[in-house]
Structure 1
Amino acid sequence: MASWKFASIIEEDKEFKVEGLNIWNYYWHCSDRKIEVIGPKTGNPYQFNEYEIRSPEKTVTFVAGEFSDGKIGLYLKEEESIN
């Protein structure tokens, strides 16, 4: 089972790249999987959706959702990095 690590608070339509792909330039395919993650500030658990974006070269998977304060959090698998 993958371990998900908090990556960033993201703003809608503001460039944010994962593995070199700006996530806002792609359709987010929802996997219908709920992943439990821990909020970075409060330590509260959240159930966020797992998504993937696809380019001709690769597929990138991440977890995203809205915290109780209205901000959008993005999580990556432990072994992935932000480019």
Structure 2
Amino acid sequence: MKNWKFASLIEEEKEFKVEGINIWNHYWHCADRKIEVIGPLSGNPYLFNEYEIRSPEKTINFVVGEFSEGRIGLYLPEEDAINAQ
């Protein structure tokens, strides 16, 4: 089981790279899995979807969901969180 770590608040269509890949330039495959994460500001639990991006070079998994006020949070597997920009 993966441990997910908060990586960033993101904005739609504003460049955000994970492992050098801008997530907005790729199709997100929904893994049909809900992952419980903890909100970075509130400390409240949320259930967000896990997604996967497949490119010829690599596969990237992440969890994304919307907090209140339209803020979108992105979580990465704990070991990958340091590679996000």
Same fold (TM over 0.5): yes
- What TM-score range do you get, normalising by the shorter chain? over 0.9
CA RMSD of aligned residues (A): 0.8
Report the number of matched residues.
Answer: 83
Report the counterpart of residue 34 of structure 2 in structure 1. Answer: 34
Report the counterpart of residue 56 of structure 1 in structure 2. Answer: 56
The alpha-carbon deviation at position 68 of structure 1 amounts to 1.6
Cα distance between partner residues in 1 of 2:52 and 2:20 = 14
Higher share in helix: 2
Report the counterpart of residue 44 of structure 1 in structure 2. Answer: 44
Structure 1 alignment gaps of length 5 or more: none
Report the counterpart of residue 82 of structure 1 in structure 2. Answer: 84
What is the CA deviation profile of residues 23-70 of structure 1, one whole-angstrom value per residue up to 9, with x for unaligned ones? Answer: 000000000000000000000000000000111111100000000221
The normalised TM-score by structure 1 is 0.97
Q: Secondary structure at the match of 2:9?
A: strand
Cα distance between partner residues in 2 of 1:66 and 1:49 = 10
Which residue identity lines up with residue 84 of structure 2 in the other structure?
Answer: I
Post-superposition, which runs of at least 4 consecutive aligned residues in structure 1 deviate over 3 A?
none
Q: Secondary structure at the match of 2:68?
A: coil
